[in-house]
Amino acid sequence: MSQQIIIAEQARIAALLKDDRVEELIVSQGQYQIEDIFLGTVENVLPGIDAAFIDIGESKKNGFIHVSDLGPLRSKKGSAAITELLEPKQKVLVQVMKEPTGSKGPRLTGNISLPGKYIILQPFGKGVNISRKINTETERSRLRALGVLIKPPGTGLLFRTESKEISEEFLIEDLENLIQKWENILQLNEMSTPPMLISRDEDFSLKILRDNVNSSTTKVTIDNKQAIERAKSYLVNDQFNFIIEFHNNSKEDHILEKYKIIQTIQKSLQPRVDLPSGGYIIIEPTEALTVIDVNSGSFTRSANSRQTVLWTNCEAAIEISRQMKLRNIGGVLIIDFIDMDSRRDQFQLLEHFTTAIKDDSAKPQIAQLTELGLVELTRKRQGKNIYELFGKTCNCCEGLGHLQNLPNLQKINLEPPKSSKKSKKSIHENNLENNQLIIHDSKNKMSETATSKALISSEEKDNLKKKELNDDINAANNLNEQEIIYLKLSDEEKIVYSQLGINPLIKLGKEFIKVNNIPKLENNESKKKEAVQSNDKNQIKIKNLDNSLSGNSLKDYSDRDTLEVSNEEIVVNDIDLKENQDSEDADITRRKRRRSSAVNE
């Protein structure tokens, strides 16, 4: 797979492309960068965690160094406690091994290393080490013998992968440059006062070429002419044949736009990543770990579900290996692949995933496949991830992803009286509208009957008028009367309904919630008063209707009077019948008592 390197010198952003697709981003920004060497002072020594905090600059975050990373300080005094190795206000020479992340400052080490083109010099190291990617035994023996001969005493050497089959002349030249660089650092250390930056790789382009050029590289594109010249002179001795190209941002699209690097960054900030066959993965970073979920989505082209699951998981494994490098995800990762019943498919997926992450420089390590089907792995942290580099905390939610929506207690306490006033007003307005509609309908009916007088006899006229009056009275009673419904409520229910402003008729059912229905607490005196008031209202409404129909004949009024009298007589008769029945029942009970007493005697 061919590799292309894109370097934006001005923006200090580089990208590694494989098959015209961004695989990895390299950003060199911020106050602290990996491999920077600082002269600092000890601020605090914490024996409880065997660590110390070092002041190395103007930032509020001090650097953190563990007792295991003290390097030469620890080697001089043996395995002593950190309080014996470091003390406050002590000057120390340290190197950044991890950039600051979140609320944590940079991670520091006393084991300083100076990387070169072919060799890495370790001033406080020991022995000669060779890259594992050089697997030829003869080449390893050659480099080891050369390292023993040229290594300065008291230092360590590491031959990089690029040193394979390189002549001794170039290797010795590279080592001499590193030794000269270390001597300059020691001179600055003696002359400077902390905190101070001692050494940094200012040439961004050469740093990218030094760490990423390999046999698969076919093209390098840089947007700076001076960087092009430096790159050509730096790579003059290399055996790799590739093109070094200049990109003019002023005449063409910006280099980051042309190669879709900005678009890739924007997509990488989103949690969802689509797979080629229709599935997708969700990546959610947290403080402790990063969680990745795999979903089949719309992928249904396989013959059966087993093939669908296996195919989707294998596609997800390849994309996850790319996203880990692209987003620079470090620490603990938990991947929830789609469940697979076959143990064979599980092992096939793990093998496929292991092959996909083999070329990752951060060296991910798969821990295990749990009983729940989760894959656990760890990846070395290398600098800031993409969320810290190009993301910004939301001012509204402060990074939580949601806003608080708590109930307004004052609004809840004020709502019930407002709603009751509104309901009374609405009921009164509805009653007025209903009265107007009834009067209008009655007038229309009267006009219609007047046109049919010539055809209907006088008796039929009287019958029709009586029916119309009865219909009007019934309609008025049905529409205008407010029906009072009595309820029994406990003290707790009264408090709940009053505070929340809920109509208590909901307790009986939704069909009882109407405009004309008025809830009342059950009480004998209130029942009597309401009954009297309802009778008075009915009589008033009937009189109003009679007045509205004053244009009719006197015979209609006599008919109404007779109807009212008959209705009153019926009511009186009903009351008399009830009283007679009660008296008869009392007489019967008395007779039974007398008979029973006579029998006993």
Tell me the two tokens of residue 283: 């990546």
Q: What gap in Å lies between CA 158 and CA 177, rounded to an integer?
A: 15
- How much is the pLDDT for 336? 93
Q: What's the residue count for the chain?
A: 601
| Alpha helices (H) along 71-136 | 72-77, 82-85
- How much is the pLDDT for 574? 47
Q: Which residues of 545-577 are buried (b: 16+ CB within 10 A; e: fewer)?
A: beeebeeeeeebeebbeeeeeeeeeeeeeeeee
Q: What is the DSSP letter of 104?
A: B
Most confident of 257-271, 417-431, 534-548: 257-271
The chain-wide mean pLDDT, for the chain, equals: 77
- What is the identity of the amino acid at 370? T
Tell me the two tokens of residue 336: 């929830």
Q: Give yes or no for a contact between 35 and 42, defined as CB atoms under 8 angstroms apart.
A: no
Q: Is the pLDDT of residue 414 over 70?
A: no
The burial of 543, by beta-carbon neighbours within 10 Å (0-12 exposed, 13-18 middle, 19 or more buried), is given as: exposed
- What is the identity of the amino acid at 269? L
Q: What gap in Å lies between CA 330 and CA 384, rounded to an integer?
A: 9
Lowest-confidence segment of 113-117, 157-161, 357-361, 398-402 by average pLDDT: 398-402
Contacts of residue 167, Cβ cutoff 8 Å, sequence gap at least 6? none
| Domain residue extents for the chain | 1-33+202-268, 279-390, 409-552, 558-592
For the segment 360-391, what is each residue's pLDDT rounded down to a tens digit? 888 899 888 888 889 999 998 877 888 888 88
Q: What is the DSSP letter of 383?
A: S
Residue predicted with more confidence, 290 or 574: 290
Q: What gap in Å lies between CA 230 and CA 261, rounded to an integer?
A: 24
Tell me the two tokens of residue 158: 């590491």
Most confident of 209-213, 214-218, 278-282, 367-371: 278-282
Q: What gap in Å lies between CA 166 and CA 143, rounded to an integer?
A: 10
- How much is the pLDDT for 530? 52
Count of CB atoms within 10 A of residue 237's CB?
Answer: 14
Q: Is the pLDDT of residue 553 over 90?
A: no
- How much is the pLDDT for 281? 94
Q: Give yes or no for a contact between 244 and 222, defined as CB atoms under 8 angstroms apart.
A: yes
Q: Is the pLDDT of residue 576 over 70?
A: no
Query: pLDDT category, 535, cuts 50, 70, 90?
Result: low
Q: Is the pLDDT of residue 203 over 90?
A: no
For residue 335, the cross-strand partners are: 292, 375
For the segment 27-46, what is each residue's pLDDT rounded down to a tens digit? 887 778 888 899 999 988 98
Q: Give yes or no for a contact between 66 and 46, defined as CB atoms under 8 angstroms apart.
A: no
Most confident of 69-73, 199-203, 331-335, 401-405: 331-335
Range 1-33+202-268 has CATH code 1.10.10: no
Tell me the two tokens of residue 17: 């492309």
Q: Give yes or no for a contact between 42 and 49, defined as CB atoms under 8 angstroms apart.
A: no
Residue predicted with more confidence, 213 or 514: 213
